[in-house]
Amino acid sequence: AQSVSQHNHHVILSEAASLELGCNYSYGGTVNLFWYVQYPGQHLQLLLKYFSGDPLVKGIKGFEAEFIKSKFSFNLRKPSVQWSDTAEYFCAVRGDTGFQKLVFGTGTRLLVSP
Amino acid sequence: GAVVSQHPSRVICKSGTSVKIECRSLDFQATTMFWYRQFPKQSLMLMATSNEGSKATYEQGVEKDKFLINHASLTLSTLTVTSAHPEDSSFYICSASGLAAYEQYFGPGTRLTVT
């Protein structure tokens, strides 16, 4: 069965600090990988996704993620966070073949202090 | 981008009553809709997947007679929580995908409180 692990449940950073959120998954096949963000009071939005090709994926708002197949990881990064990045971030994985459901990690709550 | 709405955003009901939550895709045809449940400080858990005109496929452990899902059109799916109990209190989120099926677009969620 698929599973997703997000190691950091809460992260507190100051503005301009660099961000890296860990995501590891367990799945015995080819996967599609996603990062979603949920701003306070808003719905889940897609930040970025990886299906194939270049393992370094760039998303919206300056976020990027790197797929490292050998480590089953898809960590999210941003070189310099802003107060507006305060949100909850969810990593999700889905098998690549046929219809496969999205499996979410438990989320990381990021608080950026001004 | 694609927009998915949910109604109501919040609902409080008494134990034993039923509650219906609507999920609509506003600007695209959703061939597949998903219903998730999110407990506080936990991840989204998929409850069921529904394709337009077909019976929903429920995840293991989800009671289909308690959580009735109807996907009667390409823009509307409903989740009815029947005979609600306090333990059904949760945040229910729907998502929808079109023919491409690679991406899901999420609704804003419905906070259900059963007293």
| Among candidates B42, B104, B108 on the partner chain, residue whose Cβ is nearest the Cβ of A106 | B42
Q: Which residue has the higher pLDDT, A53 or B99?
A: A53
The amino acid at residue A37 is V
In angstroms, the CA B30 to CA B72 distance is 11
Please count the structural domains in chain A: 1
Q: Which residues of B touch A45 (CB under 8 A)?
A: 106
Q: How confident is the model at residue B110 (pLDDT cuts 50, 70, 90)?
A: very high
Phi then psi dihedrals of residue B20, to 5 deg: -110, 135
Contact in structure between A17 and A81 (CB atoms under 8 Å):
yes
Query: What does the pLDDT average to over A97-103?
Result: 76
User: Which pLDDT belongs to residue B55?
Assistant: 87
User: Which pLDDT belongs to residue B104?
Assistant: 86
Mean pLDDT, rounded, of chain A: 92
CATH code for the domain of A72: 2.60.40.10
Q: Which residues of B touch A101 (CB under 8 A)?
A: 34, 46, 49, 59
Per the structure, the complete domain to which residue A25 belongs is given by: 3-113
**Cα B80-B85-B86 angle, rounded to 5 deg:** 120
Phi then psi dihedrals of residue A62, to 5 deg: 80, 5
Structure token pair of residue B60: 């293991």
Q: How confident is the model at residue A26 (pLDDT cuts 50, 70, 90)?
A: very high
Does A8 have pLDDT greater than 70? yes
pLDDT in tens, B10-19: 999 999 999 9
Contact in structure between B21 and B1 (CB atoms under 8 Å):
no
Q: Which of B45, B106, B111 to mutate to test the interface with A (most CBs of A within 10 A)?
A: B106
Q: Which residue has the tokens 């109604």?
A: B7
Q: Which residues of B touch A36 (CB under 8 A)?
A: 106
User: Which pLDDT belongs to residue B88?
Assistant: 95
Contact in structure between A95 and A7 (CB atoms under 8 Å):
no
Beta-strand runs (E) in chain B: 4-7, 10-13, 19-25, 32-38, 44-51, 57-58, 67-73, 76-81, 90-97, 105-106, 110-114
Mean pLDDT comparison of A3-7, A95-99, B102-106, highest-scoring range: A3-7
For the ranges A5-14, A85-94, B32-41, which has the lowest average pLDDT? B32-41
Mean pLDDT, rounded, of chain B: 91
Query: What does the pLDDT average to over A97-104?
Result: 78
Does B67 have pLDDT greater than 90? yes
